[in-house]
Structure 1
């Protein structure tokens, strides 16, 4: 009954928003290893990671994820609280955002009142703690205390309790006896007020119990405890402080759980009874090198949030054995590069700036999603290779991957095991030169790509011979200079953002200062050319991303917009200029992606373009760029951030992996690359049963060739639908559409009516090879 009342009230509250559930086509690949806070209720333990939450049922051990795909914002979480009475989880964020997840409900309620408060500086809106009292929750923030009514799902008063009514940082509140006690930092002490006072909004009704910095206050049965910044915990009796213990490190979490007090420090969890007798103590374990962040307990177990292992579960009575509890996921939530494969995706977390600065150097491992299981390789196993970034998988040896390091060289991985680190001592790779420190080694290997001959090409920044080829079959390296277009004295100061290898063996390089560079060995007489000037129609000299499409046109992302080199075959012979893409918007001609900082461009099986940007999300464009099929942002899709760091496409399964600054998500676009023949073409689902929504979900005709005509007829030969690859492309509104290697039929005939039950023939004709094939589809309505 309570829940139904809440749902009714949701419709009446103006500053609440219902977030969408994107689980049909989207999937989140979030990391759940670094836990900010744990809470419990309804026989579940809830754990908040950086920007996602999971729950574990303590009876069945079932784990459920809650992330942007379910409707969360993707912002950075600061705390959580579960209400048993109202059966809901409240999630507080560093930005001041609050989201509410209801038990057994797919809807996420988004509350933006604090974010939209103009009188509170953005840096002071962080949610620090939530303390329940009856149907209210006292929300501690960096500006004061806000009161939220759980029954009405609306905010009440806000208390600014600093001297003169100023905004001060509140770490925690608790209700003890007739008073609400407040732990304040910044020298503002421990304060209290009558909890039933009708005028708590007046700062003069709050009195200072003690001065100093306080980080926690908690009531357990008939006892009150406070923690100060000196790591001391006191029992407060009639506002008199009695020190009971001093911790080695400052407690990060202090909470009352039933009749117990649970205190968490970096390396210990203490469980006390109300009189501060120790029930259990859990020290960090050598098997799990980590820090503790938060903890809770039930009658049998302690559940500890950690920075590296999710939640560790250990027996309350004898806490010597540990069970790691968390959903499967990558190591971290800040993917930098991704490389999709038919069985999953590789992920690295390297990070360097747009000006090719990797400092401060990071020490992170790699993650590989393979057959729906994450394989995580820690930094300790990658030969100390730092700032790992671009990934290339050997097309002739799918178990072999090469991962660039923007400091240490090139890492080789075989069968998930790092086997070699190529650097200046054992390969053709070179370190940049530091004039004041000749012994300094810094090998900034960036993008890489295999050519049709099995050679791996890499690009290294800040050296005079940046382009390298490596033959994995004989360990032979070759180096190539760009001095014909870049002065030698400047080449050692030049960074390179992307590398693309064409079928004619031309290497296309995106550079800083010299725009697009094309290079071809040309049988020992190298050809090289750059395009970067305004007279060549480049918007800026900084090219950031490249992609060759299926018509051999080169799409060029820059620091300030998009360009296309339509004629790549005569690049070295002609005076070259690149073109912007002009579109009509409301009848007005405009430049596509004008002044956008483009971070990546990928081409899918139907020659459409996925274009990632630095702050505007991701665009999905038709093959010529004239139609924006999708523009995904945080507002209309489960992107945790509008900053796209990389994109990669699994053309076999039609999955687009999108790496953002706050996590990895994938979108099942459904498109796939065409096949050379029609031998393996098939249709599904088949039969089409009554419970299948044929209009929306559509029948797929898979593994078709690139240039194909498709006719669907009934068993008597009457034409039902027809499509041709280059005419009836997907997203054109046709009943039968073709997208690369897949066709989609919505079950409608030429009269735009859904067909009746029966057997339908799908006649495929390759327009180039004249190969034909006939499929049968049974429709049951």
Structure 2
């Protein structure tokens, strides 16, 4: 039996030079997946592995892993190949889009090369970078349009060769050079072509000779011979214009590398290592019981490193075929996270998904990932009672170790202390399956949103059933169902639901597929189920109500497929004969415009300052003031480390002031700095304390950088804070909801929810001197007070 050791590492951050319109690099942290590695290479006695859109760097001498991600300057696009140049000490990263990025080991910088991306005469599907081959200071870049030459010393492009018939664009998978001739392995029946490297006119397709016919995937110069893999599973040896078959593979190799005097070929299920005489040194097989497949392989010293589709990089001794070690930075199972929850001391991520039409097909069977104590762990699908399409994650507010995860196909999963406990379905709970007239035995329980109320009841929504709203008591085990038949016809394709929020009155607000915004309150005796779904109520036709959030003023913020709406009077909803949703109107260059007009809004989250984080399907993520009139941040792939503008979900860690943003290409964490407010000042504290000279955190002007300044945390909702020196002289002062950290007023001292930030400057705008300073906190509602001390050493 194969023995696999799991060697998972923290990602050790490398700092790179890159430019965004605003530099927030020190406030971001990437949580990318490294399970799928599509290419590996060796450089400076280290292993480089290319994941979907990030790079891992493994040092075999120290067992240390570093990563290069969008936080350090990568684009976030899909990587197709990598190559390390020992001469220039640079890593070349090729992308499916044609983008090339050059990472320098010398100054740890990332240079983006966009020449191929911007070529107008090449279609986008032909721009993929297939392979890099270095020779005499030049890199020959194989693409699906031909070959381009890049000068590594000057960091600029030379000629481009279109070598198909009549100068057409053809797919070149790899190139190599032997006896001063360049060989190209071409795909789609275009054979192997070669040309004299000294020919000054290689841009003329007539100068390229076709020496073999068929489709070829690799070509390598090895031990003074040229070898190429043909798609009929044969390995050809090329001698001038002649070629012969030297062996046949059981499965077609997709990658070929020269490494440590070995010729290494990698197929989906095996890696083959040959010596200089083309004798098989060893072969390594992928697991017969796993879905993993091999993608590429190289050798360093006595070990072979194999890129895989779902285990990262595996390390195995050259003479050992049983003892595999997995090499992978800590990260979630996949980059495309569908739903998040960071409201407890654990970040949960799910990967099931359904469309805006509430269609989960094709059914995906994936596990769950969670971040706990700074390490990512995963629960495999087989351990989750085979619950598919897992989506919304809801920890029990009274027992954070108990977590419920909705399945949009199988019901509701309960996890306790990170162990799957039970899957609630039609056989053991109040949940019910939709009914198909054509198949009475068909079971499909589409649970989407879940939410706990203040009494500890878990409320669930199930689409396409007669009683979609249900409550569950985790203590007693009792279920109760509520029918919507008074308002909605019996189950139909339109009887679907996205989200649920519960306000201070106990009203359940429900976002629906085709019935607008619904409200249900079982304590209302007269017509407890109502909705807003007409043009007179500011609801356009075919609007889907996807995301809901109750803010700190008990106002309901609503994200739809047509933009943003707000229901301001939730408390008076049942007394209002014609409740109406409102747009937020802002002034832009003096012109009145609707905020987020026509945007598809995927999530809304409210922080401790009542500000709103709003994610969109194609415009990134926004951070608005409490009333929506001020845009504090707008993060996109162009001005931040976000790898995509498609944001699936957002969740707030209100204890630590961290915003987790799930895009379809990776998870990012932004240190926003605010926190939730507390009920009392009992736990208020100041940090860092003492403030030492080496901290270098005083005197800055932008309080939005939470890594700087003196912080006071554990504040209540409405406080006044005075800072004085030891003699009682006022140094700084701030008040909740007035001195807002997110404002443009350039305060020296400001408050964000339960956290205040002071930049160490006094009323005269000078950095204070060494000494002890008193922090006098007064709750303006309860009149509770607290005094803290902080020592500043300069």
TM bin (shorter chain): over 0.9
| Whole-Å separation in 1 of the counterparts to 2:20 and 2:351 | 32
Q: 1:257-276 maps to which residues of 2 (within 5 A)?
A: 257-276=259-278
2:216 to 205, 209, 214: 214
Q: Is the 8 A contact 1:707 1:725 kept in 2?
A: yes
Q: Is the 8 A contact 1:618 1:633 kept in 2?
A: yes
| Whole-Å separation in 1 of the counterparts to 2:417 and 2:661 | 25
Deviation digits for residues 36-75 of structure 1 (CA, Å, limit 9, x no counterpart): 0000010100000111110101211111011111111111
Tell me the equivalent position of 2:512. 511
* More moved, 588-597 vs 752-761: 752-761
Deviation digits for residues 207-238 of structure 1 (CA, Å, limit 9, x no counterpart): 10111111111111301101111111111123
Count of aligned pairs between the two proteins = 767
Q: 1:419-438 maps to which residues of 2 (within 5 A)?
A: 419-438=421-440
Q: Is the 8 A contact 1:560 1:597 kept in 2?
A: yes
The answer for unaligned runs of 5 or more in structure 2 is: 1-15, 701-707
Q: 1:389-404 maps to which residues of 2 (within 5 A)?
A: 389-404=391-406
Deviation digits for residues 579-607 of structure 1 (CA, Å, limit 9, x no counterpart): 11111222222111111110000001111
| Whole-Å separation in 2 of the counterparts to 1:755 and 1:589 | 44
Structure 1 residue 773: deviation in Å? 1.1
Q: 1:534-573 maps to which residues of 2 (within 5 A)?
A: 534-540=535-541, 541-573=543-575
Q: Is the 8 A contact 1:451 1:503 kept in 2?
A: no
Deviation digits for residues 315-344 of structure 1 (CA, Å, limit 9, x no counterpart): 112332111111111111110000103423
Q: Is the 8 A contact 1:19 1:72 kept in 2?
A: no
Structure 1 residue 239: deviation in Å? 2.5
Tell me the equivalent position of 1:528. 529
Structure with more contact order per residue of length (Cα contacts < 8 Å, sep ≥ 6): 2
Q: Is the 8 A contact 1:162 1:203 kept in 2?
A: yes
Tell me the equivalent position of 1:46. 48
| Whole-Å separation in 2 of the counterparts to 1:298 and 1:19 | 41
Q: 1:367-382 maps to which residues of 2 (within 5 A)?
A: 367-382=369-384
2:715 to 675, 699, 704: 704
1:648 to 646, 651, 659: 651
Deviation digits for residues 712-734 of structure 1 (CA, Å, limit 9, x no counterpart): 12222222111110211112221
Within the alignment, does 1:133 sit opposite 2:132 as a pair?
Answer: no
Q: Is the 8 A contact 2:101 2:111 kept in 1?
A: yes
Tell me the equivalent position of 1:3. none
Tell me the equivalent position of 1:499. 500
- Secondary structure (helix, strand or coil) at the match of 1:322 reads strand
| Whole-Å separation in 2 of the counterparts to 1:211 and 1:577 | 70
Q: Is the 8 A contact 1:682 1:703 kept in 2?
A: yes
2:789 to 762, 776, 780: 776
Tell me the equivalent position of 1:5. none
Tell me the equivalent position of 1:723. 734
1:182 to 181, 184, 188: 184
Q: Is the 8 A contact 2:494 2:513 kept in 1?
A: no
Structure 1 residue 381: deviation in Å? 0.9
Tell me the equivalent position of 2:778. 765
Q: Is the 8 A contact 1:35 1:306 kept in 2?
A: yes
Deviation digits for residues 277-301 of structure 1 (CA, Å, limit 9, x no counterpart): 1122212246865211110002310
Tell me the equivalent position of 1:383. 385
Q: Is the 8 A contact 1:561 1:597 kept in 2?
A: yes
| Whole-Å separation in 2 of the counterparts to 1:539 and 1:722 | 47
Tell me the equivalent position of 2:698. 694
Structure 1 residue 19: deviation in Å? 10
| Whole-Å separation in 2 of the counterparts to 1:443 and 1:437 | 15
Q: Is the 8 A contact 1:20 1:108 kept in 2?
A: no
Structure 1 residue 259: deviation in Å? 2.2
Structure 1 residue 774: deviation in Å? 1.3
Scaled by the length of structure 2, what TM-score is found?
Answer: 0.94
Structure 1 residue 538: deviation in Å? 2.4
- Secondary structure (helix, strand or coil) at the match of 1:530 reads strand
CA-atom RMSD in angstroms = 1.8
Q: 1:22 to 1:44 in 2, by over 3 A?
A: farther
| Whole-Å separation in 1 of the counterparts to 2:373 and 2:328 | 19
1:62 to 61, 64, 76: 64
| Whole-Å separation in 2 of the counterparts to 1:658 and 1:417 | 25
Q: 1:47 to 1:19 in 2, by over 3 A?
A: farther
Q: 1:588 to 1:326 in 2, by over 3 A?
A: same
Deviation digits for residues 223-261 of structure 1 (CA, Å, limit 9, x no counterpart): 110111111111112332221222222112101114210
The answer for unaligned runs of 5 or more in structure 1 is: 1-9
